[in-house]
Amino acid sequence: MAPDTVEIRSSVELPARRENIELTTTDGLTLVGELALPADRDPVATLVTLHPLPTAGGFMDSHILRKAAARLPALADLAVLRFNTRGTTAPRGTSDGAFGDGVAERQDVAAAMAFVAERALPHPWLLGWSFGTELAIKYGLEHPIDGAILLSPPLHRATATELAAWSGNPRRLVAVIPEFDDYLRPAEATERFASVPEATLISVEEGKHLWVGEKQTRRVLNEIVAVVNPVAAPLPTEWTA
């Protein structure tokens, strides 16, 4: 490996334009977040990330979302928007309000999409993880998105009717299902998503709900990029300055 080449793993943060941002909801709350853009060019698409359950430790820095922001602006020309939903705390700060059990967060999703529109960020995709997938399913169709990517969807809060509403819609729905998920494994996912025959289900061997480890991180990030900007996949494992 050349002296100016690094292996991309764990805490490596590649070059990007990073900006601390604030989102304002229609009920008057301020949500804290970050926008990461390619360092020296415009993004080709945008990931609006929705983090795991805050009452179980989920926040904008949950590791897959943090690594997406650290790597994908440089490796895949993507904009990555992360934010704390209401009442959630991260090193970036604490968003106003209190956890709304996936109901009040409808306004948080709307605030993020209003920011995307204001900044004219291109081709937005919702990227939900666990609890974030519930928000994407429930509220994604209310917004001008290209589609939604669901990581480890538990299908606890999103109803069968809300999921079925994606059927026949031009916006894509892609679910990445861990083989050993705590809540929804591939066989059951096939049954639960049957109401959306157009949905793409990707089963990940040896995967678990939290996608721990660099092998699983790379697999998940590659699946995301293969959907949103396929010319950038597969992602490199080394970076040369």
Rounded to the nearest 5 percent, the helix, strand and coil shares of the chain are 30, 25, 45
Tens digit of each residue's pLDDT (9 = 90 or more) over 64-78:
999 999 999 999 999
pTM over 0.75: yes
Checking if the pLDDT of 1 tops 80, the result is no
Other CB atoms within 10 A of residue 240 CB: 10
| 61 contacts: CB under 8 Å, gap ≥ 6 | 82, 90, 91, 92
Mean pLDDT of the chain: 97
pLDDT in the model for residue 4: 85
pLDDT, tens digit, for every residue of 196-206? 999 999 999 99
Q: Name the fold adopted by 20-231.
A: Rossmann fold (3.40.50)
Identify residue 180 by its one-letter amino acid code.
Answer: F
Where are any strands of DSSP class E within 57-103?
A: 78-83, 89-90, 93-94
